[in-house]
Amino acid sequence: MTYFLENAWHPAPAPEGTWTMTLTNLSDKPLSDFKLSLTSITRIMTDHELTGATFLRRDANFHEFAPTSADPIAPGESWTFYVTGINRSPYHRNDAAKTAWVTHADGTHVAVQVGDLMHAGAAPVRPKPRLPEGRLTLPFALLPWPNTIDAAPGSAPVIIHAADGTAIADKRLMLVVDALHARLFPAARRVFQLSAAPGSRALHFVTDTTLANEAYRIDFADDITLAASTEKGRRYGLIALAQMMHGTFSDPEFSFPATGEIDDAPRYDWRGCHLDVSRHFWTYDEVLRVIDLLAWHKLNTFHWHLTDDEGWRAEILAYPALTDAGATRGADIAQMLPQLGDGPQSKRGYYTQDEMRAVVTHAASLGIDVMPEIETPGHAAAVLAAIPSLVDPDEPKDSYFPVQGYFNNALNPAIPETFDVLETVFDELSTIFPSKYIHIGGDEVAHNAWLTSPMALALMEKEGLQGTFELQSWFLRKIKTMLSARGKVMVGWNEIAHGGGVPPEDTLLMAWENPKVGIELAEKGYDVVMTPGQAYYLDMVQSDDWLDNGAGWAGPVPPEQSYNYEAEGDFPAELRGQMRGVQSCIWCEHYSNRHWFNDLVFPRLGAVAEAAWTQKENKDWLRFARQVRLHPEL
């Protein structure tokens, strides 16, 4: 270890308080003539007071400082500086410097070890347990819990085999689910095979056209009978059997039904989970594993957030720059500096088109539709870094910045090439993603975006558009036409409705800012998926304890809140039909590794999955708490 950075936050002066940083030189040499960079979600605003340091640069969560004194820092000595004028008070131990490095005069970077943010105003308490012990209602491992179950426990079969005469498609499906279980629990016994063996029990498949699309029914007797009207229903029945078998291997409290019936169908058609692969890149193998996890939870839509300010991750053959400059961050890359959780070394990550196709195939084999998201017009800093001709050269730099702190990060509707690029992107994506949905973002455009771009002002004048959001709507209506021409339904975040919005037909909006917004969108005629941060954002901290992990803006979101939240709660009866379902969102600014993923995603992914599948009257928090312990992690 050479250098160590400590930081502390003090609540005074109101409203945001003071952030203090101390760099200690633990090397053998004096430290002088250097810069200190750090990444932090607590950001220094233009209007700040800094003591002991000069502020050199900021780009979103990247900050760069130099000491005001030229005196060298001797070995064992420290340099302290502090600042008021931060964007908001930190909520948690991870809300300030996450990573840091020293840059010497010759341009070399040395990583700095960084401590937790201390609360200098009060001693923090230990985070509370996230789950109560819970209890079972019936001794069967099932999550989501089925909507009707009436079964008596008996001894578990050694394995379940395909009854004589099983169709090849059903045999394949059994083995797909067996392989899923084996990937999720590599040390466990297998659940299905084709032939009878001592101690095995036969499974018969029957088609029952009276059952709904995703419904299934299982009758337990000496043999097991699985009825469904579709492959989807059969797959969910097999997953239920696999879960119950797995329960008997892992916990003596669980057994397997001897007699009785499960008659089950999901509460909502849209049971989604989103994954942000821009802020931190998840490898192809990790994405496959996420899809396995969704399948085990009976979720049916994977919303793949492929682009954001921090990086573009989808290979586009016509624009290789998008996954070159647009997918690479590093301390020596002025256009794409390191962001939250990054070190100084450059990092690149993207998926080839073959990989994306393989993800789609894998997901389809598990009954999951993959919806790609390309963020427009905001959250596009990576695109503008990759294709600089999309920037109005006469727009002053740093003339607007949205809530996440990236300057001038929106695609400019007045530049015709913007639409050429998007047409090509949608063409290429349409050959990869068969889904009828494409998500085009639409969130968090700065309220004053484009207002200093002469090209945008001229367009507004010509089209008679007032302000940023009417221009945004003009842009989005063009995007909608492009998607309709390709037979796609346009999906977007709730701000799409600002400034006039787009025609509601074949448009689906995700209500994320708060639950109320979902009802407002439905009143305007839009179909809605409920993804409110206050219940379904899995990056939110799970308690208000300073020492817990996570983001804070909509938090805390304890697992019980994700579980009990009723997305259709206040929807008037006449608008219920427009509420298409629910979705959890895994935003990854804070997730620099798999451990963070596991700490925040579980058990809440299971909570949202059960809320998506199980009718309100069948939800039971204590049963869920007991069941969810068996579920796998990333």
- State in Å, rounded, how far the first CA of the chain is from the last one: 31
Beta bridge mates, 541: none
User: Count of CB atoms within 10 A of residue 134's CB?
Assistant: 15
Neighbouring C-beta atoms of residue 361, cutoff 10 Å: 10
Order across the sheet with 224-228: list the strands: 149-154, 256-264, 216-220, 224-228, 201-207, 160-162, 192-193
CB of 586 to ligand TNX, least distance (A): 10
> Smallest distance, Å, CB 375 to ligand TNX?
8
**Burial (CB count <10 Å: 0-12, 13-18, 19+), residue 128:** exposed
Our CB check for ligand TNX shows the closer of 236 and 537 to be 537
Query: 264 vs 444, which CB is nearer to ligand TNX?
Result: 444
Calpha distance 348→437 (Å, rounded): 28
Phi, psi of 441 (to 5 degrees): 75, -120
Active-site residue identified among 355, 375, 395, 444: 444
Residues forming a β-bridge with 44 = 86
Please name every residue paired with 80 in a beta bridge, in sequence order, or none if there are none: 22
Whether residue 220 contacts residue 259, with contact meaning beta carbons closer than 8 Å, is answered with yes
| Least separation in angstroms between CB 287 and ligand TNX | 18
CB of 203 closer than 8 Å to CB of 224: yes
**With binding defined as CB under 6 A, does residue 312 bind ligand TNX?**
no
Number of residues binding to ligand TNX, judged by CB under 6 A: 9
By CB under 6 A, the residues from 489 to 508 that bind ligand TNX are 493
Which positions from 444 to 473 touch ligand TNX by CB under 6 A, shown as an x/- string?
A: x-----------------------------
Task: Tell me the residue ranges of DSSP E strands in 406-468.
Answer: 437-441
Q: Which is nearer to ligand TNX, 116 or 589 (CB)?
A: 589
Q: Which amino acid is at 269?
A: D
In the complex with ligand TNX, which residue's Cβ is closer, 41 or 102? Answer: 41
Cβ atoms < 10 Å from Cβ of 604: 26
587 forms part of the interface with ligand TNX (CB under 6 A): yes
Does residue 406 interact with ligand TNX by CB under 6 A? Answer: no
Identify the CA nearest to 351 among candidates 282, 293, 428, 273. Answer: 282
Among 251, 286, 443, 506, binds ligand TNX (CB under 6 A): 443
Interface residue with ligand TNX, options 3, 220, 512, 591 (CB under 6 A):
512
Shortest gap between Cβ of 443 and ligand TNX (angstroms)?
Answer: 3
When binding is defined by CB under 6 A, the residue of 185, 526, 536, 537 that contacts ligand TNX is 537
Distance from CA of residue 273 to its chain's centroid?
7
Smallest gap from Cβ 501 to ligand TNX, in A, equals 16
- Rounded to whole angstroms, the Cα distance separating 299 from 301 reads 6
Does 6 sit near ligand TNX (CB under 6 A)? no
Q: Between residues 423 and 443, which has the closer beta carbon with respect to ligand TNX?
A: 443
Cβ 539 to ligand TNX shortest distance, Å: 5
539 binds ligand TNX (CB under 6 A): yes
- Smallest distance, ligand TNX to C-beta of residue 568, A: 20
Distance of CA 491 to CAs 23, 424, 435, 471, 528, Å?
A: 46, 18, 12, 19, 9
Nearer to ligand TNX, 145 or 512 (CB): 512
CB atoms within 10 A of CB 320: 12
Annotate each residue in 256-295 with x if it binds ligand TNX (CB under 6 A) or - if it does not, as one string.
----------------------------------------
Site for ligand TNX in 549-578 (CB under 6 A): 551
Vertex 148, ends 147 and 153: CA angle to 5°? 120
Integer Cα distance of 600 and 593 in angstroms:
11
- Helix axes 416-432 and 467-485, enclosed angle (nearest 10): 40
Name the residue type at position 260: G
**In the set 178, 315, 355, 589, which binds ligand TNX (CB under 6 A)?**
589
Residue 67 preceded by cis peptide, ω within 30? no
State the nearest-atom distance from the C-beta of 52 to ligand TNX, in Å: 31
95 lies in the site for ligand TNX, by CB under 6 A: no
Bridge partner residues of 311 (DSSP): 308
Nearer to ligand TNX, 140 or 596 (CB): 596
* Residue 351 binds ligand TNX, judged by CB under 6 A: no
Residue nearer to ligand TNX on the CB measure, 242 or 541:
541
The residue among 16 and 444 lying less far from ligand TNX, judged by its C-beta, is 444
User: What is the maximal distance between C-alpha atoms in the chain?
Assistant: 85
Q: How far is the CB of 510 from ligand TNX (least distance, A)?
A: 7
Which of 15, 64, 16, 23 shows the shortest CA–CA distance to 40?
Answer: 64
Q: Give the DSSP H/E element, type plus range, for residue 276.
A: strand 270-276
Contact between 355 and ligand TNX per CB under 6 A: no
Tell the residue number behind the tokens 């793949």, with chain if given: 304
Q: Could you confirm whether 444 is annotated as catalytic?
A: yes
Q: Which is nearer to ligand TNX, 428 or 444 (CB)?
A: 444
Please state, in angstroms and rounded to a whole number, the distance separating the CA atoms of residues 490 and 507: 5
Could you tell me the smallest distance in angstroms from the CB atom of residue 511 to ligand TNX? 10
Catalytic residues, by residue number, are 444
Q: Which residues bind ligand TNX (CB under 6 A)?
A: 443-444, 493, 512, 537, 539, 551, 587, 589
